[in-house]
Structure 1
Amino acid sequence: MTHDMRRAGSHVDAGAEAAAAGRGAKGPDELRREIERTRHELGDTVEELAGKMDVKARARARADDLRDRAGAMTVQMRSSAAHAGEAGMRHRKPVMIVGAVIAVVAGAVMVRRHRC
C-alpha cells in the first residue's frame, strides 16, 4: 500500500512536470519582458488609485462638469424663453381678448354676489 501511494505521488509530479514542459520553459528575455509588463501595469494601477484618492481634484472636476451643464441649461432656457416670447407676440390679440372677457365675467359675478 505504501508503494502505491508513492507511485501515485510520483505520477502527480510527473503530470505537473509534463504540463510545465507543454507550456514551455521561459527564457531570461521572456521573463524580463513579463517583469517589465507587470511593472508597467502596476504603475498604471498605482496612478489610477492615486487619482481616486485626490479628493480635491475630483471635486474640482465635478464642479467644472456641473458648471458646464449649468451653462448649457442656461443657453437652452434663454432660447426657450425667447421662443415663448415670440409665440406670445404672435398670439397677443387673442390672449388680450380672452383676458378681457374673463375680467368682465369675473366683475359681473362679483357685482351680482354683492347685490344678493
Structure 2
Amino acid sequence: MTDKAAEGYESGGEAAQEAGAKGPDELRRQIERTRSQLGDTVEELAGKADVKGRVQARAADMRDRAGAMTVQLRSSAAQAGHTVQGKATQAGHAVQDRANRAGHTVEHNLPEPVRNAVHAGARHRGPMVAAGVAVGAVAAVAVLRHRRHGR
C-alpha cells in the first residue's frame, strides 16, 4: 500500500468513526444493522437465482388460470348448448304449428335430409346434446379469442 493510500485509509477510518459510531456500542449496532441488510440482500439474490422455484411458481399460476378458464368455457358451452336447444325447440314448434295449420304431419313438410336428421336426433338424444354443447364450446372459444386478440 502506498503512503497516500495508507493516509486515506487511516483518515477514512477516522472520518467514518467520527461521522458514524460514537463508541463501541454504537459501532456494534451499526455492524448488526449492516449484517441484517446484507442478509436481506443475499436472500433477495438467492430468490432471483432460484430459477426452478420461480418456474414452479409460474407454472402454479398458469394452472390456476387454466382452471379458471376451463370453468368459464364449460359455463359458456353449457349456456350455448341451452341456447341452441331452445332455438331448436322453437323451430320445431314453428314447423309443428305450420304442419297442423296445413293439416299435415311434420315429416310431410320437411325435406328428406332434414327428416332423416330429426329421426336420428330423436333416437340419439344424448349424443345430439353433446354435439350441441361441443359446437357451443367452439363458438365460445372463438368469441373469447376474438375479444382477447381483437381480430
**Moved >3 Å (runs of 4+):** 93-97
Question: Which of these residues, 69, 73, 77, is aligned with residue 81 of structure 1?
Answer: 77
Give unpaired runs (5+ residues) of structure 2.
1-14, 95-110, 112-151
Return the alpha-carbon distance in structure 1 between the equivalents of residues 20 and 56 of structure 2. Answer: 51
Unmatched tracts of structure 1, length 5 or more: 1-16, 98-103, 105-116
| Greater relative contact order (CA < 8 Å, ≥ 6 in sequence) | 2
2:33 alignment partner, one of 37, 53, 61? 37
Q: Residue 64 of structure 2: which of 62, 68, 72 is its match?
A: 68
C-alpha separation in 2, matches of 1:54 and 1:24: 36
SS in 2 for 1:91: helix
Task: Please give the root-mean-square deviation of Cα atoms over the aligned residues, in Å.
Answer: 3.0
* Matched AA of 2:27: L
Aligned-pair identity (%): 65
Partner of 2:117: none
TM-score under structure 1 normalisation? 0.55
- For 1:72, give the aligned amino acid: A
Question: Secondary structure of 2:22's partner?
Answer: coil
**Amino acid of the structure 2 residue aligned with 1:45:** T
